[in-house]
């Protein structure tokens, strides 16, 4: 949200946003920190509103994490996301909150303490590697490459099995795509994915 607001449009480099981050870092302007803090408060309150309107799960989605270095994430995006999540969890502790940093798999180790109930993983990292980085106790979601849904039934079913096994087996994570369903995805393919997810009981049961 900060980047969209500052850039005024989609941006490949988010240059104006990053200039503000650098100014904030050296202390010549604290506008970025203040803006992110305000956004975090509004997002947290909006998450609570969504729950009051019937939402059973909330996902905090950082759609531009791929634009951030680990340092930038830790200094700017992470504190804001943690604040938003805390606002939601303080008011509704029993409602699950998922955190998803799209393109943030390069710094999964920095996401262990987000304060959420689950970390969603994008498709750019192997699920076994993600599990190793986050450890066995953090619930995870993901991370099948959405383009696999343009493949064959056998390819889709194998991707489901591989993802489940690498995450630790059935019951160890929430199977999901590593991003959204792409435009033009065959509906039949989504059915194959869901059916295999329901059917598969783990490699030891095969």
| Residue 59 buriedness (CB in 10 A; 0-12 / 13-18 / 19+) | middle
**Whole-number pLDDT of residue 206:** 66
Specify the pLDDT at position 10. Answer: 80
For residues 124 and 144, is the Cβ–Cβ distance under 8 A? no
pLDDT value of residue 172: 83
Q: What are phi and psi of 117, to 5 degrees?
A: -95, -20
Helix (H) or strand (E) holding 61, with range, is strand 58-62
Q: What is the pTM of this model?
A: 0.91
CA distance linking residue 119 with residue 162, whole number of Å: 19
Averaged over successive runs of 10 residues, the pLDDT of the chain (206 residues) comes to 87 91 94 96 98 98 91 96 98 98 95 96 96 94 96 98 93 90 96 96 80
> Which of 108, 100, 3 minimizes the C-alpha distance to 61?
100
What's the pLDDT at 63?
87
* CA gap 191, 151 in Å, rounded: 13
């Amino acid at each position: 949200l900060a980047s969209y607001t500052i850039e005024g449009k989609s941006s490949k480099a988010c240059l104006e946003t990053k200039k503000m981050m650098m100014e904030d870092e050296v202390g010549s302007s604290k506008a970025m920190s203040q803006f992110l803090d305000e956004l975090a408060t509004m997002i947290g309150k909006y998450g609570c509103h969504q729950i009051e309107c019937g939402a059973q799960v909330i996902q905090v989605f950082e759609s531009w994490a791929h634009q951030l270095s680990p340092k930038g994430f830790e200094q700017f995006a992470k504190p804001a996301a943690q604040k938003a999540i805390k606002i939601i969890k303080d008011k509704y502790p029993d409602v699950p909150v998922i955190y998803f940093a799209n393109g943030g798999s390069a710094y999964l180790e920095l996401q262990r303490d987000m304060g959420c109930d689950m970390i969603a993983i994008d498709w750019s990292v192997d699920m076994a590697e993600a599990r190793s980085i986050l450890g066995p106790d953090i619930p995870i979601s993901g991370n099948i490459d959405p383009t696999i849904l343009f493949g064959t039934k056998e390819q889709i079913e194998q991707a489901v099995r591989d993802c489940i096994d690498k995450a630790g087996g059935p019951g160890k994570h929430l199977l999901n795509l590593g991003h959204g369903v792409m435009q033009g995805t065959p509906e039949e393919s989504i059915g194959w994915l869901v059916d295999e997810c329901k059917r598969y009981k783990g490699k030891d049961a095969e």
